[in-house]
Amino acid sequence: MKLNSKKITIIGGGPGGLTLARLLQLKGAHVKVYERDFDKHARVQGSPLDLHKDSGLAALRAANLLEEFKKAYRPGADKLTIANHDGEVLFSDHETEIKDDFESEYFRPEIDRGPLRMLLLDSLQPETVVWDSHFISMEKQNKGWLLHFKNGLSDYADIVIAADGANSKIRPYITDVKAFYSGITMIEVSVPNAAKGSPNIYKITNGGKIMAFGNGKCVLTGLKGNGDLGFYLSLKTDENWAQTNNIDCNDKVQLLEWFKKTYPEWDNSWYELFENIATPFIPRPIYCMPLDQNWESLPNLTMLGDAAHVMPPFAGEGVNMAMLDALELSECLTSDKYSTLQEAITQYETNMRKRASVIAQESLENGERMHSENALTDMLNMFSSFE
């Protein structure tokens, strides 16, 4: 195997990076993951996600973790309610019987990000993850890289893989191609103990998700396994809105006043979402990599997930693409088909860019659809056709 005696460093301990570490360790590779979080409990995990048969679930199968996933996923959390801006429920699939069939491409089981991360962490060899290690720079040394971290640590790696997300600090060592703004900004908000903090909307959610549309804007909610409700206010606005809106992200009253002004047509039943939110709330401008991005592959450096192909979240493929990247990269790096590591990385990156471009295009189109004046009608027609 071309990885024999090679030290592999993965920067970033999200689903993509951890999946890759697991897959490479199964093949006997020497892997370290450097993660900036202080420890595995440090970060508040975001909204639930669903895994797909030929991407996220395929990676878990290859990692021998599907049975563990079956113990951790949340049956019914994928159920959807669609409402209008007046809070009227116009579609629900909660009564639709969907068999938990992991061989079906239509079955997309949901799991919270925290349990997925713990599942992957628990599968790794002891001390694989080096916590509290915020990458700051690296330089070439011998045939590899000398990496430096904010905590003062430095380490050598023969191969470096960037799994450090949309604002990757590794990516500039590979390419100067930058993401463009999609025209959409989302504000991420959480309601702790939603049964008490937002009881009426909690009831409509019914253990699953709500998508509400009206006047070119939308509200997207998802109930977490711990009973918290995560929701996003999503709208088309200027790229610099987060810096220029003058809203204190620790002030829920200011956020509600902004909502009333910006979503004036929306019924006051939605105000309940803002009464007991956790602060700070987080504005997130949504970016996308150019669909035709390209670069010349390197022999000892590559990337996966959002570092490689950040895209809007409106196709539900972000984590799935990262985990599929991990699967395909691990297969290329450990295959005897390629005579050199650079050839293996080139094959992986060529396939990855092509695949990600298709999904990014779909995500951009869905984003436009979800923020159009006809969004409610379009989304009702789309989901009704699935029944």
pLDDT score recorded for residue 203? 94
CA atoms within 13 A on the CB side of 106: 7
- CB distance 216 to 367 below 8 Å: no
Distance of CA 158 to the CA centre of its chain: 28
- Residue 151 backbone phi and psi in degrees, to 5: -80, 5
Position 49, amino acid: L
Here the tokens at position 176 are 């100067």
- The reply, when asked if residue 43 is annotated as ligand binding, is yes
Helix, strand, or coil (residue 111): strand
Give the Cα separation of 305 and 167 in Å (integer).
11
- The reply, when asked if residue 267 is annotated as ligand binding, is no
Here the tokens at position 140 are 């070439």
Burial class (CB in 10 A: 0-12, 13-18, 19+), 280: middle
Here the tokens at position 315 are 């196709």
pLDDT score recorded for residue 62? 98
| DSSP 8-class letter at 36 | -
Number of H helices, E strands in the chain: 12, 17
pLDDT score recorded for residue 77? 86
Q: Which residues make beta-bridge pairs with 157? A: 145
Position 333, amino acid: L
Give the Cα separation of 170 and 166 in Å (integer).
11
Distance of CA 193 to the CA centre of its chain: 23
- The reply, when asked if residue 36 is annotated as ligand binding, is no
State the pairing for strand pair 30-34/7-11: parallel
Position 351, amino acid: N
Position 324, amino acid: L
Q: What is the pLDDT tens value at each position of the chain, 387 positions in all? A: 678 889 999 999 999 999 999 999 999 999 999 999 998 887 656 678 999 999 999 999 999 999 999 999 998 888 899 999 999 999 998 877 767 778 777 788 999 999 999 999 999 999 999 999 999 999 999 999 999 999 999 999 999 999 999 999 999 999 999 999 999 999 999 999 999 999 999 999 999 999 999 999 999 999 998 999 999 999 999 999 989 998 999 999 999 999 999 999 999 999 999 999 999 999 999 999 999 999 999 999 999 999 999 999 998 899 999 999 999 999 999 999 999 999 999 999 999 999 999 999 999 999 999 999 999 999 999 888 665
Q: Which residues make beta-bridge pairs with 138? A: 147
Q: What ranges in the chain are assigned the alpha helix state H?
A: 15-26, 56-62, 66-72, 113-122, 194-197, 199-205, 241-244, 252-262, 306-309, 318-333, 341-370, 375-384
Position 274, amino acid: F
Largest CA distance in the chain: 64
Give the Cα separation of 288 and 286 in Å (integer).
7
pLDDT score recorded for residue 47? 72
Contacts of 346 (CB under 8 A, 6+ apart): 297
pLDDT score recorded for residue 43? 67
pLDDT score recorded for residue 46? 65
pLDDT score recorded for residue 78? 85
Give the Cα separation of 13 and 117 in Å (integer).
8
- CB distance 211 to 82 below 8 Å: yes
Give the Cα separation of 223 and 112 in Å (integer).
9
pLDDT score recorded for residue 252? 95
Burial class (CB in 10 A: 0-12, 13-18, 19+), 223: buried
Give the Cα separation of 277 and 282 in Å (integer).
12
- The reply, when asked if residue 171 is annotated as ligand binding, is no
